[in-house]
Amino acid sequence: MKFASLLALCGVSCLAAAQAITYQNLSSTNVRVDTGQTGPAVEEVHYYYDQWPIGLAVSKQGRIFVCYTRGTYAYTLGEVVNTTAETPYPNIAINTPPGGLSTTINGIPFASNSNTTFISVQALYVTPDDTLWVLDTGRPSTNETEDLTMPYAQLGGPKLVAINLTNNSVVATYTFPASVHYPDSYMNDLRFDMRANATASGKGICYINDSSNEGRNGFIMLDLGTGESWRQLTQHPSTLRTFEDVPSYQGIPFYQRSPGLPLTNIQEGLDGIELSLYGDIMYYSPLTSDYLYSIETQYLRANPANDVLSSQRASNNVKNLGQRGGNANGFSSDSNGAIYMLMPEQNAIYIYNTTSLQAESFVRDPRIIWPDSSNVGWDGYIYFNINQLPYQPDWNNGTDLRQYPGVILRAPLPNGGTKSTVLGPRD
């Protein structure tokens, strides 16, 4: 029926209905639309044009340090110098392992064993005393665009390095024995409890997530006083990837397509880790799980070398806190004890509220295309990297679908939250 004859048939009421059709585009429709935004305004802080970032940390003075996993990048640890550029930190020499990033022993590729230079830095953290902690996986890829061949680590390569930000010099280096860091381990991030009573040595403890996509996930603990390290919850189901998980990013179901390999799924295990305000509880989850877990840190701090039942006890004390509403990639916390969880499927950051025992939406924004690594600054903002990881060539059959620039975003924390200094030391 033509419109004119329809009008003749039903008169004014049909005309009103016809005029109510407003759909032309999203800005002119009168139908309810998902704006993609929730929570406080998100600000763009820095743009990456040269290298895709992974980790970041913000110092007490507001200096921003960033790192990049690498194969061919010129440097792996950098400092933001202006809105569009970073420079090697503290200098290019320490970013340049002698003899290259990797080598070949009896025909098998191995990563550099240099314990004095940075090979491939995955994560950064600034403790309340304004020390920058640098976590080097010691496992470079051979080429950023084709990172299938990740050589095994050698003793010395995987390390934790402390840099005093006042004079920009290395003040401590910790390496890991083969019984703790397996050749196929992949250390991902770190959190600290520097209080004197955290360990017998009195110098504090570092908790590290081993997210290796090659299998043996779990926690690595390092006593900063003795340099001793140990593992807990290795291959506990709560640290393992979800079998054949298919997340959705930007509304598209995601399968991993690695060049030369059969279609698969994301393989990384244990991912988000964060301490409660007073350091007594560790919250954690694998990358491809919707479940949040926790364990009292006393069970992680127990060194199996001194207590044969410690692994059993840790395993027996894992708590399943239920689902949170999606996969999560990396956690942070603030002075109110809120646990921030980066949510790559939702383009969002959620909070696990330890009082209401529920996940809550904090911020959501269409620019949050794979939030990766967040840090809370002394200025009351949460800073986070956007690196478009699901678009990297290694997950897209060799095609790089990322679009420069990468970006650092920030959002103001709720309820006056800021950097927590409870777990000290303070200066």
Nearer to ligand NAG, 42 or 273 (CB): 273
| Least distance in angstroms from the C-beta of 19 to ligand NAG | 14
Q: Write out the DSSP string of 385-418.
A: EE--GGGSGGGBTT-----SPEEEEEEEPGGG--
Q: 107 or 262, CB closer to ligand NAG?
A: 262
Q: Which residue has the tokens 């399968």?
A: 255
**Cα torsion for 290, 291, 297, 300, to the nearest 10°?**
-80
- Dihedral sign from CA coordinates of 28, 31, 35, 36: negative
Pick the closer one to ligand NAG by CB: 14 or 400. Answer: 400
CA distances from 388 to 54, 350, 401, 420 (A): 10, 19, 9, 29
- Which strands sit side by side in the sheet containing 55-58, from one edge to the other? 55-58, 64-67, 77-82, 85-88
Tell the residue number behind the tokens 């959190």, with chain if given: 191
Residue 48 Cβ vs ligand NAG, minimum distance, rounded to whole Å: 12
Query: Toward ligand NAG, which CB reaches closer, 14 or 96?
Result: 96
Q: What is d(CA 317, CA 295) in angstroms, rounded to the nearest whole number?
A: 6
Beta carbon of residue 307, minimum distance to ligand NAG (angstroms, whole number): 16
Pairing label, strands 248-249, 205-210: unpaired
State the nearest-atom distance from the C-beta of 135 to ligand NAG, in Å. 10
Contact 422, 387 (CB under 8 A): no
Classify burial at 373, counting beta carbons within 10 Å of its beta carbon; exposed 0-12, middle 13-18, buried 19 or more.
Answer: buried
CA dist 125 and 254 (Å) reads: 30
Minimum distance, C-beta of residue 284 to ligand NAG, in the bound complex (Å): 8
**Distance in Å, CB of 334 to ligand NAG, minimum:** 8
CA dihedral 33, 34, 40, 42 (to 10 degrees): -110
Shortest distance in whole angstroms from residue 111 CB to ligand NAG: 15
Task: Tell me the three state secondary structure of residue 375.
Answer: strand
What stretches of 211-282 show up as alpha helix (H) in DSSP? none
Q: Which is nearer to ligand NAG, 156 or 380 (CB)?
A: 156
> Residue 171 or 309: which CB sits closer to ligand NAG?
171
Least Å from the CB of residue 233 to ligand NAG = 14
What is residue 353's three-state secondary structure?
Answer: strand
Residue number with CB closer to ligand NAG (42 or 208):
208
Q: Which two tokens stand for residue 247?
A: 């997340």
As measured in angstroms, the least distance from the Cβ of 315 to ligand NAG is: 20
Class of residue 63 by CB neighbours under 10 A (exposed 0-12, middle 13-18, buried 19+): middle
The two beta strands, 43-48 and 406-412, are antiparallel
The kind and range of the H/E element at 16 are helix 12-19
User: From the CB of 2, what's the least distance to ligand NAG, in Å?
Assistant: 26
Q: Give residues in contact with ligand NAG (CB under 6 A).
A: 24-25, 27-28, 72, 81-82, 84-85, 115, 129, 131, 143, 145-146, 156, 164, 166-167, 169, 171, 173, 175, 188-189, 191, 195, 197-198, 209, 211, 257, 263, 268, 271-274, 278, 280, 287, 329-331, 336, 338, 351, 353, 355-356, 360, 372-373, 397, 414-415
Q: CB-wise, 311 or 417, nearer to ligand NAG? A: 417
CB 87 within 8 A of CB 78: yes
Question: Among residues 19 and 167, whose Cβ is nearest to ligand NAG?
Answer: 167
Find how far residue 373's CA is from the centre of its chain.
Answer: 3
Q: Which CB atom, from 5 or from 120, has the smaller least distance to ligand NAG?
A: 120
At its nearest, how many Å lie between ligand NAG and the CB of residue 159?
Answer: 7
Separation of alpha carbons 351 and 122, rounded Å: 24
Shorter beta-carbon distance to ligand NAG: residue 10 or 178: 178
